[in-house]
Copies of this chain bind each other. A is one copy, B any other.
Amino acid sequence: MNTIISIEPGTPMESQVRPGHNRWHPDIPPVASAGRGDRIRVECPDMFDWQIRNDDDASDIAELNMNRAHMVCGPIAVEGARPGDLLVVDILDVGPLPGRAWGYTGIMRPEMGGMLADYFSEPRKAIWDFEGIYATSRHIPGVRFAGQVHPGILAVAPSHELLDRWNSREQALIQTDPDRVPELATVPDPDGAVLGSLSGAEFERVASEAARTLPGRENGGNCDIKNLSRGSRLYMPVFVEGANLSVGDLHFSLADGEATVCGAIEMAGYLDLRVDVIPNGMDVYGTSNPFFVTGPINVEYTERIVFEGFSIEADGTQGFLDAHASYRQACLEAIRYLSRFGYSEEQAYVILSTAPIETRINALGGKPNAVCTMAVPTGIFEGDIKPQSRSNWGTPASVDLASVVAAG
């Protein structure tokens, strides 16, 4: 595996040898390149670029500079990739940096958003220790799980045309409620921008146009799909010459839905990829968004407790086929349930955001309620968290088979 981008732990992204970026723009120049069929390694900082410490004090979360989020490595120009092609990216491996076998999960300040920001208003931090395939936390005893390790961000550069489309549609959304706090979307903002090697006037221009990294979009971006993991093959639309692939936001584990804004187990690490190109693939397969084929290694916890949610707000207000509200209700049900087993509500919230939870949209056909479910694996808890219904299986083993007597 050829390491084409290495990083110096603790050094800010703009000071790395091959500086990355935290905005999307076609004019950020590539810092590395790869040929078709190449196997490459990229090292990545954690999503907050070393702002979070491995300690028991959440003041770093409280004082976080959110403009330094989603720092990604690249762009990497892929030889032969042209607009209209599909870029094929095999995720061969992902893991923590040697000597940094830990990660973190935060509960953010409420103004940063977060699905349950109304309930959890104090900044909090959980540190996770990686023991090979497992994560444990000294802040959440009694739980241990295997991580579905994956990159939160795999993205290509947008074209100018696509960037313009993003900016205009997101600006239009903001205009529907321009005074909302927090705002409905994050607009281009030069403050905190890191744009690789750009500087001077070109930096200013690009920084004022470049899209923010918070949402996933047609170029991939911050998709946070836990099953887009080791062994997956990703197909991404190509919008510029060379595709300009950037990657980062590595997660040791993540629950479907990512209940908290910083809800994964965030880590610095390495990512091994193989890149290839399907010429004219967007037209051949009729796709405008990334799609992927799953791999054969997954975290398997087959027995699960599944919590159901409907489109009802906490104050009883009825929503209309609102899957987000249904997920929130299911999550609150799960938090209350886990609190009966000795976990604090904040601990439960972090578990439901980080562990290998499956969150599904089950039914959108029954207006006004969307039905969503959160499936929590029972095998990640030290004790048995299933409800006890003692009459179910009969009394414990006490009948000797010998009482079934053979006739003389």
Contacts and interface: CB of A to CB of B under 8 A. Distances in A.
A190 interface: no
B404 A371 contact: no
Interface in A132-190: 132-134, 136, 138-146, 165, 169-170, 172-173, 184-186
Interface in A89-113: 90-93, 98, 101, 113
A85 to B, nearest CB: 11
Contacts of A119: none
Contact of A343 (B185, B319, B324, B397): B397
A165 B250 CA distance: 45
A364 B115 contact: yes
Interface stretch (A17-25, A52-60, A71-79, A194-202): A52-60
Contact of A310 (B216, B293, B343): B216
A318 B187 CA distance: 13
- Copy number in the complex reads 4
Contact of A360 (B286, B292, B293, B361): B361
Interface stretch (A6-14, A26-34, A238-246, A344-352): A344-352
Interface residues of A, number: 173
Nearest to A334: B291
Nearest to A283: B340
B340 A286 contact: yes
Contacts of A36: 391
Contact of A231 (B133, B222, B387): B133
B391 A263 contact: no
Contacts of A217: 310, 369
A286 B337 contact: yes
Given A362-B256, A402-B122, A291 B307 contact: yes
Count chain B CB atoms within 10 A of each CB in A57, A140, A321 and give the residue with the most.
A321
A191 interface: no
A367 B184 contact: yes
Contacts of A268: none
A224 B370 contact: no
Contact of A401 (B114, B185, B344): B344
B316 A165 contact: yes
Given A132-B93, A324-B321, A399-B139, A284 B365 contact: no
A296 to B, nearest CB: 5
A302 B304 CA distance: 12
B287 A400 contact: no
B303 A293 contact: yes
A141 B62 contact: no
Contacts of A301: 296, 302
B371 A132 contact: no
Interface string A355-376: 0001111111111111111010
B306 A396 contact: no
Given A184-B320, A296-B302, A307-B291, A394 B141 contact: yes
25 contacts: A57-B407, A62-B406, A86-B387, A92-B132, A123-B406, A124-B404, A124-B406, A132-B231, A142-B394, A143-B397, A146-B297, A173-B319, A185-B318, A215-B367, A223-B362, A225-B306, A257-B362, A284-B387, A296-B379, A297-B299, A297-B300, A298-B302, A300-B302, A347-B397, A383-B396
